[in-house]
Amino acid sequence: MIAELLEYLNRGGRTLAQIAKELGIERDELHERVHMLERSGYLEEVSTAGKECGSRCYNCPIATTCHDDPSKPRYLLLTKKGKDFLASKK
C-alpha cells in the first residue's frame, strides 16, 4: 500500500479525498498514512506561503501554480528517499 500511495502522490493532480476514494480507504486513514510518510522522510510539503521557496523556485514543479495564501491546499512531493523507494519497487 505504501508504494501504491507514493505512486499516486508522485503523479499529482489529485486531492487526498480523490486518492482515498480510488484506493478504497477512509480519508482519515489516508491522512494518517500521509503524515507517517512525511515523518518517515518519504514526502515533504512544498511551501505555498513563501516561507521556504526562496531561490529554489527555478526548479520547483509547482512554481507556476504557487501562491502566497496559506489557506490553500498543501502540495506534497516525494523526497529522494520516496523516489528511491518507488524505483526499487519497479
Could you give the angle at the alpha carbon of 65 between the alpha carbons of 76 and 62, nearest 5°? 40
In the CATH scheme, what architecture does the domain 2-47+75-88 have?
Answer: Orthogonal Bundle (1.10)
Kindly report, residue by residue over 6-19, the tens digit of the pLDDT: 998 888 777 788 88
Our separate counts of H helices and E strands in the chain read 4, 2
Q: In the predicted model, what is the mean pLDDT of the chain?
A: 78
Q: Where are the domains of the chain?
A: 2-47+75-88
Mean pLDDT over residues 59-69, rounded?
55
H or E element: which one contains 45?
Answer: strand 43-46
| Residue 76: per-residue pLDDT | 82
